[in-house]
Structure 1
Amino acid sequence: MEKSKIAIFVDVENLTKWVKEEGLEKLVTDLGSTAGRIVTRKAYGVWSNSQISNLQAPLNRMGFDLIHSYHPVSGKNSADIQFTMDVLESAIKVDDIEQIVLATGDSDFSPLFRRLREMGKEVIGVGPRSPLSECVKSSCTRYIYTDVAEAQGAQYELAEAKAMVEKIIKEHGEPMSLGLLKKQIISTDNAFDERTWEYSNFSSFVRDIPAIDIFQERGKTHWLGKIKQQVPDKSGNRKLSQATTDEYKQLLRQMNWPFVPRNLIIILHKALQNTKAVEASYLKENLVQFVSDKHKRSLMQGYTASDLKKGLTVLFKAKLFNVTAHDEDKYWKYIGGANYLSEINNAMSVRVRSACGKANVPFDTKYLQPLLYPKG
């Protein structure tokens, strides 16, 4: 079977650091080995610019056509228009191209992403994490982040990803092929990539989820995943589970407690101090614009809109918002003080202790400790 054809377009000036750190080279290698055959490779930039001029040789070795984005006056629009025209021309004229990769890091291209999707193309977006990148991400078949999340943040994202897998298999109701499972994960979160957490392949990622068994049916070559059965004791009750940090994480996920990095909580606390009451849905969707302090806004730029919503949920569950109602709308006013991390830890502890009692799991503070936010 012939591999699908792929076209790659790269705005080098917007993603200079990623290109210099061999991010583009790794992307080309991965796409060529797993997704299809790359037939178009174009890289855009003002090649006389000293910041990117030394990238011409390696890009040329990788087979990229170097398109000079001439800026007649100040900037940007002429280069963006040229980029857009070339992408659309390729999509229309080369009608057997199935996948188009747009490495731009720029939310201004959202209409282009949507138009390509309407044309029936699979669109792969590439760019950094930011609230604005969500505008592009939602228009893509798949989205690849150019920046790596901080260690603690990556671990929290891993916990969320594992919880998503468990939820999908449970809702499926029967053993599920790993191929179908991954497709459903990407349809839920198109930025999912098990290699983010250094898993060599998807099956090794699934094997690392304690609640899931993977197996092969007799005579079959593909792998399936299923939820492990709870072992009842002789009285018919659920067997007492061992107290572990992973077990506590699972209990918290069942109560929709999101795991977010400590640094994000600190940033949100600083940003929300002394802000006025605002309608809840507006705050969730427009948090960055709502915060008036430019310095505080800049601190949030490394996080996606989804990250910020999860952080707000943690603050809300810890009762760090005063909630009032007006004309059927709910307004949130942040009231977190100096002990806000302790308040969050207390809220988490209360939930775990309660859930342990209901789930027949021992409660031990030493296994809860790794989940709490250090106060220092």
Structure 2
Amino acid sequence: MPDNAQVALFIDYDNIEISVPEVMGKEIEVDWQVVLETATRIGRIALRRAYADWAVYPARQREMLGLGIELVHVSSKRGKNAADIRIVMDALDMINRGTPVTHVLLVSGDGDFTELVHRLRTEGKTVVGLGVSGTSAEYLVNSCDEFIYYDKLVAPAPKQPTKPVKNGKPEEPAEPVVSFDISEARQLLRKVLEADEEEWMLAAEIKHVMLRLNPAFNERNYNFKSFKDFMQAQKDMLEVRLNDNQQIEARLIETTEASDSQAPDAMLDRYLQILESLKIRMTPNEFRPAIVFKFYEMLKTSPDLTLTQLKDKVQAHFEENAPHVKMQHITETAHQLFHTYCFTFDQEQANYEADVRLWDKKVSLTPDVSRSTDLLDKCDRALLSRLGKALGSTEKINKEVAARLLYGSFRGQRMLEHVTHLLQGLKASK
């Protein structure tokens, strides 16, 4: 990180307080000092705020205040998303005031912050997310410049069972099982080095590109103390050396293994053809989740819109705030939501001309959609269901290719797990 980095720390307190015991054990408490140290490693903390209904956490207030964290009280009576909304408002206010912040550390795994992350990055801020593995939304993880898992920052706190006593002395506690599959990190490493066409590449540059491709990558997830140790452990696939400037660099070892790199692309084309035959337009792109979230937000704030008006409103938002998002992608997303029955339309025919188009009737969300992530998941499950029917079974769907179809890229094990979760939801509903 640059020496002059100025950090804004926003903490979604409820999200982390609930997620840590859920994943690490009911007896585990969040070590907020570790979170603060993470922010300090990024740069000087210019702003540090934690958002919650603090009447619910009277015992934790002293600890947070002792760390110099400003407590922002948001009454839970305002709804479960009240703290999220306040964080978004404060972050946007920070931008509008021209506060000289270069980095934002967002402590939350809530996918509802995805649109905020896109906005912050559009404004030139480097966004680092911090959440808990298994509970952090994939869309949020992939939107950040870097994403850190809290449970990999701290030593495992749950008591580990001891091994049987030998010679009258109990042995050390058994090591905890690592939940991250290193194969995804190796695939990512190979992808970066293959793009460099067998040239030597600096380790710092390798890690930079790996983080750009997968913001959740962290060598500590695989029990390596440093990136150097991670690379040294992959000598079966790469050469590592010190150059004349005593900098670590690496390149791939030549291999005779054949790879069918065209197969995934051919499969993706097949999936797109299936959807096109069903009149569902789709161009894989990484902005699709953010577009869906904006449809949800706009409809919640302006409930009397027709679908055409809603689409136009979403397009106007991105044209003003994120012009790099293509209008084609927004139009296609509107069609996807329409064809997957995510909307209900006003049935009062007396309100319209006899020949009015369905898209020109007032629209609302279906009752099963109460959050922006619900809308995305509902649409995605329906798209996967259509593919499964065309292929003969959802079990024939390639999860990696499905991730590329839905989210514009494939970024490792957690994205596969999310697609698997969607497919399992289809099986459970049968």
Same fold (TM over 0.5): yes
Residue 7 of structure 1, CA deviation: 0.7
1:265-304 pair list within 5 angstroms: 277-279=388-390, 304=414
> Is 2:54 aligned against 1:62?
no
Aligned to 1:111, the other structure's residue is in SS state helix
> Is 2:200 aligned against 1:175?
yes
Q: d(CA) in 1 for partners of 2:143 and 2:38? A: 22
Q: What letter corresponds to residue 58 of structure 1 in structure 2?
A: E
Q: 2:55 corresponds to which residue?
A: 48
Q: 1:127·1:133 contact (CA, 8 Å) conserved in 2?
A: no
Percent of matched pairs sharing the same residue: 24
Q: d(CA) in 1 for partners of 2:422 and 2:88? A: 36
Q: For 1:284-332, what per-residue CA distance to the aligned partner results, in whole angstroms no more than 9, with x for missing partners?
A: 59x9xxxxxxxxxxxxxxx84333447999xxxxxxxxxxxxxxxxxxx
Aligned to 2:217, the other structure's residue is in SS state coil
Structure-2 change in CA distance of 1:88 and 1:206 (3 Å): same
Structure-2 change in CA distance of 1:164 and 1:224 (3 Å): same
Q: 2:125 corresponds to which residue?
A: 121
Give the number of the structure whose residues are more often strand, by fraction.
Answer: 1
Q: 2:16·2:131 contact (CA, 8 Å) conserved in 1?
A: yes
Structure-2 change in CA distance of 1:211 and 1:256 (3 Å): farther
> Is 2:43 aligned against 1:36?
yes
Aligned to 1:278, the other structure's residue is in SS state helix
Q: d(CA) in 1 for partners of 2:178 and 2:258? A: 20
Residue 251 of structure 1, CA deviation: 8.9
Indicate which of 29, 34, 44 corresponds to 1:21. Answer: 29
Aligned to 1:172, the other structure's residue is in SS state coil
RMSD: 4.0
Q: 1:130·1:305 contact (CA, 8 Å) conserved in 2?
A: no
Q: d(CA) in 2 for partners of 1:30 and 1:162? A: 25
1:84-103 pair list within 5 angstroms: 84-103=88-107
Residue 94 of structure 1, CA deviation: 4.5
Residue 279 of structure 1, CA deviation: 4.9
Q: 2:10 corresponds to which residue?
A: 9
Q: For 1:148-178, what per-residue CA distance to the aligned partner results, in whole angstroms no more than 9, with x for missing partners?
A: 6993642xx2122023212321321201001
Residue 147 of structure 1, CA deviation: 4.6
Structure-2 change in CA distance of 1:128 and 1:251 (3 Å): farther
Q: What letter corresponds to residue 45 of structure 2 in structure 1?
A: I
Matched residues, number: 260
Q: TM-score, normalised by structure 2?
A: 0.52
1:1-376 pair list within 5 angstroms: 2-17=3-18, 18=20, 21-33=29-41, 35-49=42-56, 52-71=57-76, 73=77, 75-130=79-134, 133-147=137-151, 151=177, 153-154=179-180, 157-173=181-197, 174-209=199-234, 210-218=236-244, 220-228=245-253, 277-279=388-390, 304-309=414-419
Aligned to 2:79, the other structure's residue is in SS state coil
Q: For 1:224-264, what per-residue CA distance to the aligned partner results, in whole angstroms no more than 9, with x for missing partners?
A: 1122357xxxxxxx8xxxxxxxxxxx99999999xxxxxxx
Q: 2:129·2:141 contact (CA, 8 Å) conserved in 1?
A: yes
Q: 2:363 corresponds to which residue?
A: none
Structure-2 change in CA distance of 1:100 and 1:227 (3 Å): same
Q: d(CA) in 1 for partners of 2:263 and 2:62? A: 50
Q: d(CA) in 2 for partners of 1:25 and 1:128? A: 16
Q: d(CA) in 2 for partners of 1:215 and 1:253? A: 30
Structure-2 change in CA distance of 1:279 and 1:129 (3 Å): farther
